[in-house]
Each structure stands twice: as C-alpha cells, then as structure tokens.
Chain A
Amino acid sequence: MIPDAIAASVLQSGLIPRGTRVQVFSEIYWVFLGLGTLVGAVVIGYMLKNAYKYSDRGGADEKERPKLGEMPTGGGKGKKLFLSLSLSAIIVISLIAWTYGTLLFVEGQTGDQGVDVEVEGYQFGWNFHYLNDDGEYSGVNTTGTLRVPVDTQVNLQITSDDVFHNFGIPALSVKGDAIPGETTETWFKATEAKNYTAHCYELCGQGHSYMEAGVIVMEEEAYNDWYAEQRASAENDSAGNIAAAGV
C-alpha cells in the first residue's frame, strides 16, 4: 500500500494525532464534529436560502418551464456541480487521509510492550487470561474484572467461547470483536488509576444488556503486588493439583 517511508514521515510530522486511544479519538472526533457541523450548516443553510428565495409567489415568469410529455432532459450548471463536488471531495478525502495516519499509528502499537491479556467472552460475561512475556498463559485468570496497571500499554487478544460478542471499554476508547475461533488484537493505555466498566457491543442473547465487566486501573506497584500474589496462588494450585492441566 503506502510506502513505509512516506508513512513514517507523515507519522513524525506532528500533524497526526497520537497518544492514548482516548486522546486520538477525542481529537479526531472534535475536528470531525466541528467541520461536519460547519459543512452541514452551510449546505442546509444554502438549501433553505434558495428554497425561500425561489418560492412561487406568482408574478411574471420569464423562464421556459418543463412541459408534459417532453423527453426527459436536464443539464446546465455543470461547472458549479463539479466545483461543489471537488470541494466536498477535498474535504472528505483530506479528513480521511489525516485520520489514516492515526490509524497507522494505532495499528502499529499492538503487541511489543506492556501487559498482555486474553479476553474471552461467554454468554454472558468476560474471562481474562493474563499472558506472560512469551505470550503463554501465565496461570493468572479472572472472571468479571480486568485489573491493569496505570500508564502502561495493555494489549488485548479478544476471543469468544460461544457466540459473537464485542468487548469495549467506552471510557478508554477501546473495542474489539470477540469471535469464536478467532482472535482480534487491540490495545489501550489508562492514564488514571480509577474504575471503569466494559460492555458487550454485539447482541449475543438474553443477557446481552447486562454483559459487563469491571475494569480496575491500579497504581503500578499495587498492580505488581496483586499480580505476584495471583501468580503465586496459581502456582500453588497447579503444584497441589498436578492433574489440573491446562488453563
């Protein structure tokens, strides 16, 4: 697709929103909202203006009007039409191209650093399997609550144990489909140690409305303590019960 060199130089230009997902999303969203409102207001305003101006008020009519049974024709104002089209095309294409830079940034962030967690949807809740640095199951699993450290990139590998779900934490602007037999990857970074809620965003059956999970963002140390504790008890469990193979 786009040569890497160009992509890289655009990425470094500072024009492209970067940072946490919350930052890039809100930056782009507000630009779109501002421009969208402006364009909408101009176009609809122009429509209303002409609608008012050319309303039929009787009076003399010097223009030649369509007649019943004439061969359908129409034309004129071609220049104006293409000028407007070009203008709108320039706005839309440059907006999308601008966000494409951010898309490259966002997509480039997955995987190489931070905490890795496999998110597994089921009817109707969420399991979290923490992965170690080699990408293997660490033995630390939680159900219903995702605990992550603050200011650290968290990489999610989202999948499903039954039907199609979608895992999203709205306040952290992160979302991914949970598809049985497939893994979708995404990431987020929380900048505040507080509690959030994750929702399911794909209709998955009776309990869909309440298919939530708590997301607890912890201070780095607290998280490390918690993780070490979980790790230890997981190892105790497997040591005490060798037969308990698997996750």
Chain B
Amino acid sequence: MTDETQPRTDGGTATALPGDSHDDGSHLPPRWSIKRWLITTNHKDVGILYIVTAMFFLVFGGMLALLIRAQMWAPRAPGEGILSAMAYNQAVSLHGLIMVFWFLSPIATGFGNYIVPLQIGAEDLAFPRLNALSYWLYLASGLMVFASFFQGSTFAGGWTLYAPLNIPAFMPSIGATTTVFAIVTFCASVTVGGVNFITTIHRMRAPGLTMRSLPLFTWSWLLTVWMMLLAFAALLAACMILLSDRLLGTTYFAMTTDGGSVLWTHLFWFFGHPEVYIVFFPALGAMAEIFQTFSGNRIVGRKWFIVSMVLVALQSFIVWMHHMFLTSINLEVKTLFMATTIGISLPFDLMVFALIYTLIKGRIRWDTPMLYAFGALVLFIVGGITGVFLGAVVLDYEFRGTYWVVAHFHYVMVSGATALIGALFYWFPKITGKTYNEFLGKVSFAVFFTGFNLLYFPMFLAWGTPRRVFAYRPEYLVWHRIASVGAVILGISFLLIIYNLTKSLISGDDAAANPWPYSTTAEWAVSSPPPLENFPGTPSYASGALEFLGSDDDGSGAAAATDGGHATEHEEVHVDHASVWPFVTGVFSFVTVIGLSGLQVGSYPAGLEGLFYQATSVVGVVGLISAISAMGYENFTAHEGGFGETWPFGGVENTKMGMWVFLASDVVLFGAFIGASIFLRVAYGWTNWHPVPHNPIPGLVNTYLLLSSSFSVILALVAAKKHSRKGIVASLVITFVLGLGFLVNKGIEWLELFHEGVWLDSGVRASTYFLTTGLHMGHVIAGLLITAYLIWRAWNGAYSEGSGETLEYFGLYWHFVDIVWLFLFPLFYIV
C-alpha cells in the first residue's frame, strides 16, 4: 500500500489543507504501519477496519453456506454426505449468525463510520476511543465465534437459538457457551457504537444542516443505530439470561419451566424483527444515494421517504409476534400482529416507488454501483411480495419452517447485501483514493445477479422442504441442485469482487475527489481519501450550500466563500487520534470470555482443562478491569462539535447526551429482565408465587440507603458548584458508604438464602430473584468503583477547580440505578 494521504488538486472541489501535515502531530503512525491500525481512533480508519473485517466474515459465512449447499446436493440418508448431522446443524446455525451479526451489520457500520461524519460535516465521532472500542469488541466477538468451533462443538440450534435446546441439558458443548458469549460481546459493541453515533449525529452536524436536510444515507444510519440501541438491548438481556442458565444454572429456559420456551421466542423476536430493518436500512440509504447520483435526479418525495423510514423504525418494535403465529397465542393477538405487519409493509411500498420514480427524466449511468443498487431493488421487490404471503396468517401456517421462509428472507437480506456491495463500489474511490476496474465490476454484477437468482429462486419452487434438514422429498432434487450450482456462482462473484477491489487498491489509478457526476453530499467535496481532520475549514451549510469557512485554500470551489459574520477560525486545538486501550480491552474481553466459557452450571471441567479455564478467566478479568481503568485515566481530547444541536439535545454536552442514550438502552435491558420475571410469574400462576426473601425489611432498608445516596450525589454537585474540594470528597464518601451498606445488606440476605439451600437453580422464583436483583447489584458495584475513582480524583482537586460535569454524568447513572431499585423492591420483596 502506498501512502495515499497526499492531497490532490482537481478543479471544482476543495482540496486538503496544506496543514494536513498535522497528521504527524497527532502521533498516528502512517497507514502502512500495523501499529497505526491497532491504536487508531479515527473514524475513517475504524470504518476501514470494519469493512475489511466484515468481508472476512462474509467469506467465512459463505463457506458455511457452500457446505450446506453441498450437503443439499442430494437428499441424504443418515451419515451420508460431507457433513455429519451435528456438523450440518452447526453450519446452518453459524451461517445465519455470522452473516447477520458479523457480516451485514458490521459492513454497514463500516460505511456509517467512514461516510456519516463526512456527510454531516463532523471531524470525527463524539467519542473516538469508544468507536475504536466498538470495533475491537466486534473483532473479539468474531474471534470467539472462530474459537467456538474448536471447543467441542459450536452452537447447533439455529440462529434463532430456540429454548430449551439452547441450554446445557440439550447442548452441553463449551463452544455453544462461547457462541452465546460472542453474541453478548457483539451486543456490547453495538451499544457502545449506538451511543456514539446517536450523540454524533444529533450534536455534531455542520451549521445549517438540519435534521430534515440530512443526506438519506445518514438518515438511514441514524435510524439504524436507534433501532440497534434498543433492539440489541433486548437480545443482550436474552443472551445474558441464557448465559446465566448455562454458566450458573438458573432455570429460565429449562424444559420444566412453564413459559420458558415461549419467553425465549418473545425476547428473541422482539430483537429479531427490528434486526431485519437494522440490516436493511443502511442498504436502503445507500440505494437512495446511488440512485440519486447515477440518475442525476434528486429523490422523489424526499420528505415522505424519511417519514416512511421513521415509521418503519417505530413500527418494527410492534410486529415481533408474527414469528409466533403457530404458538399458542390467541386469535386476538394474531389479528393485532397481522395488522401491524401489514402496516409496516406500506411505508416500504412508498420508498420503493420513490426510488423508481427518481429514475424518471434522469440521465442514468450504469456504472457498477448503479447496477448493484438497481439489482438490489429488483430483488427486494421480489422479497417484499413473497413476504406479503407470510403476512396472511393462513398462509403463514403453511409456510412456517419451510424453504419459502428461507427463500423470502434471503431475497430481502441478500438484496440488502447487494445494495451494500453497490455502496462498496460507490465509496471505494473515496475510501482508498483508487479507481476500481469498471469492466470487472460489471462482470461481477452479471455473475452475482445470475448466481443470486439461481440460488434463491429455486427455493421458492422447492418450498415444501422443511428448513434446516438435509433429507428432502426426491421431487425437489432438481431445484436443490440448481440452488447448489447457483451458490457456487454467487461465491465466484464474491471472489471477483474481492479480486477487483484488492487489485485496484494496489495498482489502480488515482481517483478524483469527486469521480461521480451529480453527487451532492459532502464526502465528495474533500479529497480521496480525505485528510485526517476531514475538511479544509469548518464545514457549514448556513448559506444554503456547503462551504468551508476559515479555510486558507487558494480559492477553488466552495471553500472560497468567506462569510465574515459566522466564520470561525479553524481551531488548531490539539485533537487526539490514537489510544491503545480500546485494543487492549478487546484482547482481554476475548481472554475473559474464553476463560468463563469453561464454566457450566456452576462448575469448571475437572483436571487440567478446568485449570486452564480458571486461569484464563482470572487473567482476563484482571486485564479487562485494568484496560478499562487505563482508558478512563488516559487524557484524550476529542472534537466537541455542538453546531447542529437540535431539540431536545440543544446545549447538552456530548458526554451527557451519551449517558442519556446509554441509559435508554439500559432501560430496555432492565425492562427485558423485569418483563421476563413477570412473564414467567404469570405462567407459573401469579398468586402461587411468593417472594424469595422471607423478610422485606432488609430490602426496605436498602431502599432508604439508595435513596439517601442519590441525595448525597446531589450534595456533591452542589459542593462542586461552590468549588469546595472537601465538600465534594465528603459527599462522595457518604455516597460510597451508603452504596457499600446496600451491598453488605444484600450480601447478608443472599448468604442466608444460600445457607438455607436456596440457590440460583432452586426453581424459577429463585432464578428470577437472584438474576434480576443481581443485575442491579452489578450496576451498584460498577457505580461504587466509579465513585472510588471520583473520590480519588476529587481529592486531587479535579472537580473543585475545573467543572463538575463528570460528577453530573455519574449522578445521572446513579439516580437511574436507584430508580430501577424502586421497581425491583416491590416486585421481588412484597408482591
């Protein structure tokens, strides 16, 4: 790879500042250095890491798909074919999980990272280190999936992980536990990323760029991260509970727990349906950008397109039970969810028509990105129409669990992938500064489109085949054979794509800043690739079009405009772009998970193996805590933004807004835990259920302790306003002592219960009590660790001299933890 950061000049667009040399000032090694990629926090670097890693997982998931198609070459008798029954189940499960979690979402995240800050005029994300952390957690979670194959067997119960097949009684392998851990780690990555993007998009837009005028890709990405934040919190809850069942022996999903199996389907699909749009929205946004650029038309009905996306994002949380039409839910509920499902399809119709009408009176150029985007829309229409079949409950009764579903969702999901490949070609020149081979690109599309339809269309014709089997009726043989051939062709097209892009990266022609006529968005107004700080001046839309203020550019293009009144100097504040701690945190997350995966129903395996897992756990946990503390202690300056603030986020600092957004996801997490307890209690019989602690008094005492500790945090804030170091330290110490009192009190209560023989596995009442209040206790412990850190910092005068903002952010968290307790106390001690 050659150094591509050189600014290029080509008339009409602003070029990078000569001051680009402050690349060196940021201590970020050059691009050919491996070290750069380990420590970078720059959004463009992280974006590249995401895209490249996602492509690796595409290959991985694709190989599993080829194994599946090889097994399906003929109906197999037991033991026949290249895969054993268990190997086949693993391939089926991990193909789905990897494609959804480790390819589709991350490649979109890559574009979100690279493109969105450029489109909105931000120099970086609000929390660059958290962004790097998202990536490293993503990579760590992906490596956990790799590792799981070598730990007996990976997860083998389908990507939907239905209960109770997912518990050790039916799936005892350590690898299955690691897979669930991998999902939990991925959820953490997504949550961190979501907080970051939401804060960035709501707070760091260029002046004048209102929400209504955000580019469509940014809009789609904003809604994606909002859906991610809330939906993945539900999946996180589901998988944390599952891990608790697997590691500690709680009995939420046990075969004997009434409602346990159905509880899983609710939790999973509450996440699972929004996930469809989480995967598809970035593709839709990319399609909108590509359609506009390559037809030379602005999108038709832009406002309605955005309204439709917002409607879909909202409605996505109220359709999940259409995955459960064949369970014992009653007719009224089925009717309701049938209606919401049809309702959510209508905004899509509007968006499809908007895209089609955008072509009219255009000057359509059929470059590779447009071929893929156009192809994606055709495939999506087929996927959408076949989805309407599933919306009719009577037909769904018949299609459930068959290849109709498989064919339908591949038409939808892989049409999304098709559009994202279009996006890859579209933004490739911007990201790499190189031009891809257009002819090879077109060939790859022809191969791709042929392979796609050969692979998935016959599945409609062979729809009578049950999902996830490799024995099928002989009359379907020909269709499954064609599908298998199509799979190979589709695989070849990916090789062509990867070959084209790799070759072009090494020896392609240099790309212009704006290789596409009629493109409008800001990423095309800077060089390819853009300089480290993105813009040659402060980007602004205040005058109604993009201009770079305070730029000392030679006057070419947009940057020339100087607007006396609003021009702000391009600040020469030092901004950091490097930190090693996100990487280290990722490494130790991996180590921790590998260690803990050995734990099963409260005990480690015997002998050397157990010793290995225990030692690894200890090393991992110690390393993890150290890395996170080091990251907290590190001095790191990021861009603050704060230009494009909009209600209700005006005047809120980035960190405070980030904390609010994080707490929103935490609300869903606790909501899912509390919902799960209530659901199981209803299944158990509400009135037969008695609280596990015999005595509500310790709980009541704890309520007072927490409430007073909330008050003492407020006192600390007051002291900070008065710049009283002693006051801050004293109030924080009181908070700490009260919190510790809560823990001790709780500890005594638990020890007494353990003493009586009540353990996490003593039935569903004990399970829900220990796990839900345990989750809360984890939050209290985290809060106390932070308090201890704050006391130490306050003692050194950190908040009395500077501002007390950090205390305020902590206060938000702490009040939230207390409020949660106000729900838990009556639920688990009184009712």
Contacts and interface: CB of A to CB of B under 8 A. Distances in A.
Interface of A: 1-2, 24-25, 28-29, 32, 36, 39-40, 43-44, 46-47, 50-51, 54-56, 61, 63, 65-78, 80-82, 84-85, 88-89, 92-93, 95-96, 99-100, 102-104, 106-107, 123, 162-164, 166, 168, 170, 173, 175-177, 179-186, 199-210
15 contacts: A43-B352, A56-B363, A66-B293, A67-B520, A73-B298, A74-B298, A103-B393, A162-B255, A163-B165, A186-B397, A201-B467, A203-B158, A203-B467, A206-B85, A209-B76
Contact of A166 (B86, B295, B378, B401): B401
A203 B162 contact: yes
B302 A163 contact: no
Chain A CB within 10 Å — which of B157, B262, B360, B392 has the most?
Answer: B392
Chain A CB within 10 Å — which of B327, B518, B525 has the most?
Answer: B327
Contact of B378 (A44, A106, A205): A44
A137 B165 CA distance: 28
A71 B364 CA distance: 22
Contacts of B4: none
A102 B296 contact: no
B385 A40 contact: yes
Contacts of B304: 78, 81-82
Contacts of A184: 326-328
A227 B660 CA distance: 66
A180 B377 CA distance: 41
A118 B389 CA distance: 29
Contacts of B468: 203, 208-209
Nearest to A211: B469
Contacts of A179: 261-262, 327-328
A68 B13 contact: yes
Interface residues of B, number: 114
Given A61-B363, A99-B394, 6 more contacts: A54-B360, A68-B12, A74-B302, A93-B342, A182-B327, A203-B93
B377 A72 contact: no
A43 to B, nearest CB: 6
Contacts, number: 295
Interface of B: 12-13, 76, 78, 85-86, 88-89, 92-93, 156-158, 162-165, 170, 208-209, 213-216, 255-262, 292-293, 295-305, 326-328, 331-332, 334-335, 338, 342, 345-346, 349-350, 352-354, 356-366, 374, 377-378, 381-382, 385-386, 388-389, 391-395, 397-398, 400-402, 464, 466-471, 514, 517-522, 524-525, 541, 544-547, 558, 683
A180 B258 CA distance: 8
B327 A170 contact: no
Contacts of B397: 25, 106, 173, 175, 186
A55 B364 contact: yes
- The secondary-structure label for the interface of chain A is mixed
A75 B300 CA distance: 5
Contacts of A72: 213-216, 298, 302, 520-521
Nearest to B391: A96
A54 B361 contact: yes
A107 B260 contact: no
A175 B466 contact: no
Contact of B382 (A32, A40, A66, A175): A40
Contact of B466 (A43, A78, A123, A200): A200
B395 A203 contact: no
Given A54-B361, A96-B338, A202 B300 contact: no
B556 to A, nearest CB: 13
Contact of A88 (B92, B296, B346, B400): B346
A65 B361 CA distance: 11
Given A44-B378, A209-B470, A66 B356 contact: no
Contact of B401 (A46, A92, A168): A168
Contacts of A164: 162-165, 261
A74 B350 contact: no
Nearest to A204: B165
Given A47-B378, A100-B335, A180-B164, A89 B298 contact: no
A242 to B, nearest CB: 29
A204 B92 CA distance: 13
Contacts of B350: 81-82, 84-85
B545 A71 contact: yes
B157 to A, nearest CB: 6
